[in-house]
Amino acid sequence: MWPFSRRLHHPARAGDVVRGDISVQVRKMLSGAHGPALLDVELQIARGEILALLGPSGTGKTTLLRLLAGLLQPDEGRVIAFGRVWLDTTRAITLPTRQRRAGLVFQDYALFPNMTVRGNVRFALRRSTPRSRADELIDMVGLDALADQRPGRLSGGQQQRLALARALAAEPDLLLLDEPLSALDGKMRNDLQDALLAMHRHRPTTTVLVTHDTAEALRLADRAAVMEGGRIVANAPPRELFGVAVDVGDDNRLTISARVLACIGITEGRPQYRIEAEGRTWLAHGEPDAMLEPGDKVLVSADRWSVRASRPSVHRRTPEARSKGEPPGSPAQDRHLSIYSSTYKQ
């Protein structure tokens, strides 16, 4: 038996003030498609940060969220959050979910089917919060025209947006998001990412976000942890974890490295490219004179999905540049692309 209690430096009591914002040490046996697996996680989460959890399906990401929320119990472990002991198996302490002030958005939504959209959000409001706040959140997630409809009349993506609005209405101390934007189209996903960032600047809620989207982690998260086989195998700022090379533009957008696989045609005078980054393949539009070739290195911007050549040596000079005598790779020759599909498969 793994001596978990030896790793707990001292026994904790409910209400103890413990240094640190959220400290997690949990261990639980899981049943998966490939047989039993052990979830064994140690994690520190700073107050107010957004932590992205990435990794293959079945590695324990959702289970970890449910353990934090109090919906599952570990075999052994301790969770200390914001100066309170939420869980300590060595002392038989387990705070119920309602006392943890955690907002949850899981893939099954868990909406109240007998309430309208507005009723679902109002139900989650704190007593001191004006009821008009519900309408603000409904508008933020783009459901204002459906405020009087019940969840059964909504699409999957609309239900996902409602679940997010309801979680935010409670003004939780800890926000747990299990792929909250996965069912949304590109524009709505980007709009909600903008809204989440704006709300986080206004009220920096500690957030744990499960995602399979590297770019989403780059855009939203302060730190990213990669889980494999029930353990955290990497834990660092997304810029470091995903090999971000430079910032792009005055708004300090982050980028990841990619390469051009092929030019697949021309639409409305703009070349289309197939590019590869972080194990995924995208389609990208280029400017008419981009002139990228297979093997060229590019940088993918995480928030607006624009791409530019990453090494001067792969730039192709335009006729204007050649006539001006500009050498290959001068800054004026950077070629920009715009990704229009992030789910393209070869």
Number of separate helices (H) and strands (E) present in the chain: 8, 18
- CA-nearest of 284, 248, 233 to 263 is 284
- CA-nearest of 288, 305, 298 to 343 is 305
pTM above 0.75, yes or no: no
Q: What is the pLDDT of residues 138-170, one digit of tens each?
A: 998 889 999 999 999 998 888 888 988 898 898
Token readout for 61 is 């990401």
- The pLDDT value recorded for residue 314 is 29
Q: What is the pLDDT of residues 105-123, one digit of tens each?
A: 877 778 999 999 999 999 9
Q: What is the pLDDT of residues 43-102, one digit of tens each?
A: 999 999 999 999 888 889 999 999 999 999 999 999 999 999 999 999 999 999 989 989
Percent of the chain residues topping a pLDDT of 90: 37
Q: How far is CA 123 from CA 5, 138, 158, 166, 267, in A?
A: 40, 13, 18, 8, 49
**Cβ neighbours for 180, distance < 8 A, ≥ 6 positions apart:** 105, 160, 163, 164, 192, 209
Stronger pLDDT, 60 or 282, i.e. the higher one: 60
Cβ atoms within 10 A of the Cβ of 264, count? 13
Whether residue 281 contacts residue 274, with contact meaning beta carbons closer than 8 Å, is answered with yes
If you average pLDDT over residues 6-10, what whole number do you get?
A: 36
Name residue 185's amino acid.
Answer: D
Helices assigned H by DSSP within the chain: 61-69, 117-124, 132-140, 156-169, 186-202, 214-220, 238-241, 319-324
